[in-house]
Structure 1
Amino acid sequence: MHDNIKSSQFDFTSPRLISTSLCISDAETTLGAPAVWRAKEDIVQKAVLLVDPSMRALQAGVLVGWNVFTARGRRSQRVYLQVWRPVDVNRRAYRLVGETKIAALWVGHSFFPLRPPDRILVEPGDVLGLHFPRFNPIPWSPVPCDRNNEHFFKYNPSRLLAMKGTIVFDRPAHDWMPCRNYSFNASIMTTRGQLMFMIDAV
């Protein structure tokens, strides 16, 4: 059991999030695919995905924001953007270490900066995941399967997520277009970098 999962909800109505300026020095990296329009949308519901287990964090840092593109057909759907840590790669066993809940209230690109209490500590080897309790609002496009980059999944994961333990994921069939780029990524400030948010209250 692990009770130290960092979980936050993005509040769209909070005036403290309306005006944000960003000052960055030293190193910032991006983990994930570009947050752009893509043609494909998931038709399944109630699932958690590790979108590309081969795309791993290379060094320690702090996740300070999310870039997301949400699709027209999935507006008003809620999704959890997640960070998972490998426990046993050969068994596809991972542990959830942090997540941010957002709502797809519009179509297009959005950047969600995280306030200091909501930021997620990232370690080398961590990967990104998505949990959608209903439909997934984030589109995807197929890519070649050439580096063990098939996504992993678990359907109806609510009970397993509530237990806050390790989840052993399933591997998709090859006729599912198993290798995909989903339109979201994480902005990670490495331990060498410094980040300062100056948030203007309205």
Structure 2
Amino acid sequence: MSQQFGRTRWKRFAFILVPSIAAAAATAIGLAQGALAASFFISGKEFKISADSLTGEGFSLYGTVDVTRKRTPVPVVVAGFKSATIQGLCQSVVVPVPVLGPYTLTVTGGRRPTTAKNLFIDMATLEADQANFRRIDIGIAAGSLTVGEVSPGDRDSRFFDPNGFAQQARSATLTDLRLTAVATSAGTFDVPGLKLSLDKGKDECF
């Protein structure tokens, strides 16, 4: 079964993941106070990603908590894809430079599509003008994901709630994609025609 969602505001949709994030709150507080150790830390700096389209197989969506080096817990929604093809990739982050002010670091792909395997995006917001899902399951327990996957780092994390809310789909296609993320990881990430630029001022992907 295929389902379509036009002009989907994922930040609002992700609020249904709050219970699974809240289930990790006590652990987050313990880690922030130094009582627990984290396997890795995020910078905490948000960056933006946009794409003309993202088509993925083995889609998953679940909530968890990332942690900065300062032991600050950061609730996130994780979108996972066993494989993904991205058209018109753009990634940007604004970097404050002492004395000189803000600079924008931008990475873009060329005309050929970017491809990824085992892609996971830890995000705060996501918007798409059109979202299409095939064989979607909404409300599945995160520990029961089979079509979509949980990042190995998340599955072993104290923050992962196997009984928490999640969803999965055989495939997902998102068009005119715009998201704000704090981390991404992938088994492979191939970007034909890669271009990196550092420009003065704020000139983000969207």
- Tell me, yes or no, whether TM beats 0.5: no
The alignment's TM-score, normalised by the length of structure 2, stands at: 0.30
Answer 1 or 2: higher relative contact order, Cα 8 Å, separation at least 6: 1
Greater per-residue strand proportion: 2
